[in-house]
Structure 1
Amino acid sequence: MDTNFSSVGDSDDATSNLNATVIYTSLYTILLFGIVFNLIASIFLYKYLKRRPDENHIILLFSLIVVDLVSLCIFAIRTPLYYLAVFLINPNVWCNFVGFTNFTFPLSSGAIWTLMSFERCVALSMPFRYANYFQPKKTKRYVVATLALVVFLNSIPFVGIGSYDALLDEPIICRYSYSPSDPAIYMVHLGAYLFCGWSEVFIGAVCNIVVVYQIYKMSKVNLVGVNQTQENRSQVKNMESEMNIARTAVIIFVGFTCCWVPVLIVLMFKRLGIPLPDVFGFAAGQLLLANHLVDPISFVLARPGFYKFILSKFCIFINRSPSESITLTGTSGLQGSTTC
């Protein structure tokens, strides 16, 4: 969630003002759309869970969206807290809060996403043993345990194993990464954080490779089942639903990886003392914040009805005759026709 992996150099005032304008414009654009989209998605998923409380994948997706929403809301209120810290002349309070949220929320989002990828992997590769691992109560416990582990990991700097403290008092400049000159004990926190971060990427990649392979197999079975008897249509429909759920996880995986890996690289380079261009650090920070916006967008993009809706609007726009037809293949992987 940190967007300040690099500081602006001693350039002229015009360049500094331009950089500040670009930074804050992109920041608040991501915040605005992120809060709105996550709020809409969380309301939709909450209502769905009220009707179908036994859907494990919806429980995980709802948890992911709520974590994203809370992280963006906390990021939005950090500026008022900054001025409060200045007023109280106690910058360490603010820096501890900033550092804790910077490290905790991205890792929490990634941990829940990894759990969701594993759930889809088990559901598709071991359907007969799925109920042994995932049930609504168990799934909720997994989420709570995962978040508790992440909070514990990022609380250890408060007892001296790492640091979020201020480096300067006026203006308040907080620690955003660890440097080679830091005490060795600080590396315990960074090492554990990087290990968890790269583990999320690796586990998610393996799970999604399995998911993609299972989707491929199911799509072949689905094509055969379309023309079969009525008794088999229910099974085909269930397969289609599983494929749609799996595609949601795959899309979120792609977005998460693109947003998360650059930050891990920046943290490693900073620790090793390898200089990076300011623009790379800035882009990595913005991607990390944008990750909380990617999740609700991925959820929408994975809906089959979304593409039919867009195509229907396109048909109205181009004003085609009712007799003309367009065949649509969306991310659901199912072919359907929409008449314009």
Structure 2
Amino acid sequence: MRRYVSQPAYAPFRYQQWMSPRRVIVVAVCLYLYAIFLATLPFMGVNKYGYQLWCDFHWSDTSPEGRFFVIIFLLQGFGCMLFTVFCNVSVIYELLAMRRRVGPGLNNATFKEKLEHFKFISIATIVSVAYIGCSTPYLVRLACNQFGYDLSLAKDFDAVRVYLVNNMTNSYFVLFLQALFHPKFVEKIRACCQRKSKENKKGTAGPHSQEEVKPK
């Protein structure tokens, strides 16, 4: 979201206008309060915890309160996915559009700048795909249990496993990608590739350079 708000093409000063310190604090506090409120609803009689082995809220609770909670969770889940995809795709599109507008001037960009653009596009794409791929089965199985379609405990277990793996490894995966694109690591790989390229060129040019032209 921060990347989307700070895009310079649509409104150069949008970041300063939208992301003031007070506004950031207010939004963060509101999100925390909303998360706490949603998590405590089952303790207030709106659905309840203890479903299956993973102690989730009851997916198949068809009472008015239980169904309301499940539908709110589904809307929130799919809404977060759509919002994440929209922000990441818009930023990636803007970066690629900037590269097209710059044209030949892109050759003047430093290797570090090109690496930063490539790193962000790669991380945004991989994280979005992983988030959607791991969250969608969970939400689909939740909807199936709520509306009584294709009931299968084995499929529920598989969906929960994938969902939990994503939640547990997402931050570590991002850190791994950040380390993979670390300037020192990239420079070492770049130097190694350049060294091999030079050796290949020398090996190709070697036999021709050793030939002697005899005078007639």
Question: What's the TM-score, normalizing by structure 2?
Answer: 0.70
Equivalent position of 1:95 in the other structure = none
Equivalent position of 1:177 in the other structure = 58
Equivalent position of 1:286 in the other structure = 161
Given the alignment, which residue of 45, 49, 61 partners 1:164?
49
One-letter amino acid of the structure 2 residue matched with residue 185 of structure 1:
E
Tell me how far 1:179 sits from its aligned partner. Answer: 1.4
1:249–1:126: structure 2 CA closer, same or farther, 3 Å change rule? farther
1:100-249 correspondence runs (5 A): 118-124=1-7, 125-136=10-21, 138-165=23-50, 174=55, 176-179=57-60, 182-221=62-101, 224-228=104-108, 241=116, 244-245=119-120, 247-249=122-124
1:308–1:238: structure 2 CA closer, same or farther, 3 Å change rule? closer
C-alpha contact (below 8 Å) 2:127/2:174 kept by paired residues? yes
Instruction: Tell me, in whole angstroms, the C-alpha distance in 1 between the residues paired with 2:115 and 2:187.
Output: 19
C-alpha contact (below 8 Å) 1:178/1:271 kept by paired residues? yes
Cα-to-partner distance string for 1:311-334 (whole Å, 9 max, x where unaligned)? 47987xxx9586348xxxxxxxxx
1:308–1:174: structure 2 CA closer, same or farther, 3 Å change rule? closer
What stretches of structure 2 of length at least 5 have no aligned partner? 202-216
1:139–1:255: structure 2 CA closer, same or farther, 3 Å change rule? farther
- Higher Rg of the two aligned structures: 2
What stretches of structure 1 of length at least 5 have no aligned partner? 1-117, 326-340
Aligned-residue identity in percent: 22
Equivalent position of 1:297 in the other structure = 173
Equivalent position of 1:83 in the other structure = none
Tell me how far 1:206 sits from its aligned partner. Answer: 1.9
**Which of 1 and 2 has higher RCO (CA within 8 Å, sep 6+)?**
1
Question: What's the TM-score, normalizing by structure 1?
Answer: 0.48
1:191–1:252: structure 2 CA closer, same or farther, 3 Å change rule? same
Tell me how far 1:271 sits from its aligned partner. Answer: 0.6
Instruction: Tell me, in whole angstroms, the C-alpha distance in 2 between the residues paired with 1:184 and 1:211.
Output: 40
Tell me how far 1:197 sits from its aligned partner. Answer: 0.7
Matched, 1:308 2:186: yes
Instruction: Tell me, in whole angstroms, the C-alpha distance in 1 between the residues paired with 2:192 and 2:156.
Output: 39
Tell me how far 1:178 sits from its aligned partner. Answer: 2.4
C-alpha contact (below 8 Å) 2:51/2:57 kept by paired residues? no
Cα-to-partner distance string for 1:42-94 (whole Å, 9 max, x where unaligned)? xxxxxxxxxxxxxxxxxxxxxxxxxxxxxxxxxxxxxxxxxxxxxxxxxxxxx
C-alpha contact (below 8 Å) 1:262/1:284 kept by paired residues? yes
RMSD: 3.6
Tell me how far 1:247 sits from its aligned partner. Answer: 4.4
Instruction: Tell me, in whole angstroms, the C-alpha distance in 2 between the residues paired with 1:270 and 1:258.
Output: 19
Tell me how far 1:155 sits from its aligned partner. Answer: 1.0
Tell me how far 1:242 sits from its aligned partner. Answer: 6.0
1:3-82 correspondence runs (5 A): none
Tell me how far 1:251 sits from its aligned partner. Answer: 2.7
Given the alignment, which residue of 131, 144, 149 partners 1:269?
144
Instruction: Tell me, in whole angstroms, the C-alpha distance in 1 between the residues paired with 2:18 and 2:197.
Output: 52
Tell me how far 1:136 sits from its aligned partner. Answer: 4.8
Tell me how far 1:202 sits from its aligned partner. Answer: 1.4
C-alpha contact (below 8 Å) 2:49/2:57 kept by paired residues? yes
